[in-house]
Amino acid sequence: MELAEDGALVKDDAPDGEPAKTEGKGSAIWREVKGLIWVLLAVLAFHSFVAKPFYIPSESMMPGLLKGDRLVVSKYPYGWSWVSPSFHVLPHWQGRLLGKMPKRGDVVIVTPPDSSEDYIKRVIGIPGDTVEVRGGRLILNGQMVKWEKRPPAMIPVDANVPCGIEFSGFMTDGADGKRYCRLPIVRETLPNGATYDTIDLGQSIGDDYGPVKVGPDHVFLMGDNRDKSADSRFGAGYPDHGLGGPVPWENIGGRAEFITFSLDGTTQLLNPLSWFEALRSGRAGTSLRPAHSGQSPAK
Query: Could you give the residue numbers annotated as active site?
Result: 60, 121
Comparing CA positions, the residue from 139, 103, 109 lying closest to residue 121 is 109
| Distance of alpha carbon 201 from alpha carbon 95, whole angstroms | 38
| Distance of alpha carbon 243 from alpha carbon 184, whole angstroms | 25
Alpha helices in the chain (DSSP H): 25-49, 272-277
Half-sphere exposure of 29 (CA within 13 A, CB side): 3
Long-range contacts of 272-280 (CB under 8 A, 24+ apart): 280/66, 280/68, 280/156, 280/158
Comparing CA positions, the residue from 280, 56, 296 lying closest to residue 156 is 280
Say if CB 223 and CB 190 are below 8 A apart: no
Say if CB 73 and CB 255 are below 8 A apart: yes
| Distance of alpha carbon 47 from alpha carbon 31, whole angstroms | 25
Q: Distance of alpha carbon 147 from its chain centroid, rounded?
A: 25
| Distance of alpha carbon 176 from alpha carbon 205, whole angstroms | 36
